[in-house]
Amino acid sequence: MTLDEAGLAARARAFLAEHDPESMTPVEFLRARFDAGMAWVHFPEGLGGLGAPRGAQAVVDRELAGTPQHDVGRLAIGLGMAAPTILAFGTGEQRERFLRPLWTGEEIWCQLFSEPGAGSDLATLATRAVRDGDEWVVDGQKVWTSSAHHARWALLVARTDPDVPKHRGLTYFVCDMRAPGVEVRPLRQITGEAEFNEVFLTGVRLPDSLRLGEAGDGWRVAQATLMNERVAISGSAGRGGGVMGAILDAWRARPELRTHDLHRRLLGLWVEAEVTRLAGARLREQLAAGAPGPEGSGMKLAFARLNQQVSGLDVEMRREEGLAYDDWTFRRSESVDFFGRDAGYRYLRAKGNSIEGGTSEILRTIIAERVLGLPAEPRADKDVPWKDLPR
């Protein structure tokens, strides 16, 4: 098999010739694409990939443009966080079971990390998992869980040993969201929608076969997920796309909205968007070379700041129209639409960017300590058993 660019392009065209998307359902087409190794070309053969360089994905994506694609707002956690974590830490059986329906969108994923008392300091989480033979019994509460209301599976971190310091007593699981004892409640957000949730876990029994990584090694697995999450949240929009796209469209189409001051500020944000885009490209190359590093925290921080500034300028530019809001009806949204709604929605939704995927304050600490090498903040709880920590 030829895995150079020309060979991959030819392979993608041959696949398309044999699988007409007009004669198949979107799911059937995506299943066939996975089976042909064109889901993630850098994944191993048999798991949606061809063992090709990660950068070759762009070749396949270009050849298959216009065919059925993912709803990224619905599948972001599965594609951006669950898949790389399962590939890195899952058993062969777990990879075989989860990756295909995850990629086709037949199974939605969510992330059971944050808790009412542990979000910014995730390692203090209190949800317990106690071993009972070949099963674990889970009790606790999670919060700010995107998409839990339609998720089939969840990434779960739970405390399995309270007698050791907080980072060492955690274990990582795949949680069956249909298991008895899992209760999902909506959290209405500033947008009026409820894409976030509270999740209550009461006596939930998970087989040990759903554990990812070794017992007690959950912090290391969770770090891999979080680093991938920050790269995924930061997005990969092209020049003038993503958050900049909507305001640029309005700027070009409506000259009556323009002022010299808005022009100056828009140019400044456009430059920042380009810096963020190019930094993201560099980070994805780093991903291709191995595990993502703490630099992803800088990308996520920059994305959140930029998104909030651009969406604010968009509202300001549209004046009274920008303050209008299309619909305050409480909804359990099926997807996250960052860019497709009106300016008011985009402005309000952007407020969550500095919380989701790690608060900006935590990310600044990671950058200071792990990227810049500055002295660490004093930590009195570093060697204290979790059960002895004040709460």
Q: Tokens 């380009």 label which residue?
A: 274
Q: Report the distance separating Cα 284 and Cα 54, nearest Å.
A: 9
Provide the 10 A C-beta neighbour count for residue 217: 16
Map 247-259 to HEC letters: HHHHHHHCHHHCC
Our answer to whether residue 320 is catalytic in this structure is no
**Closest listed residue to residue 173, CA positions, set 102, 101, 90:** 90
Element (H, E) at 173: strand 170-176
Strands 170-176 and 211-212, bridge-based pairing: antiparallel
Catalytic, out of 96, 229, 316, 377: 229
Q: Tokens 């703490």 label which residue?
A: 294
User: How far is Cα of residue 283 from the mean position of the Cα atoms in its chain?
Assistant: 15
Element (H, E) at 202: strand 196-207
Q: Report the distance separating Cα 117 and Cα 115, nearest Å.
A: 5
Residues annotated catalytic, as ranges: 229
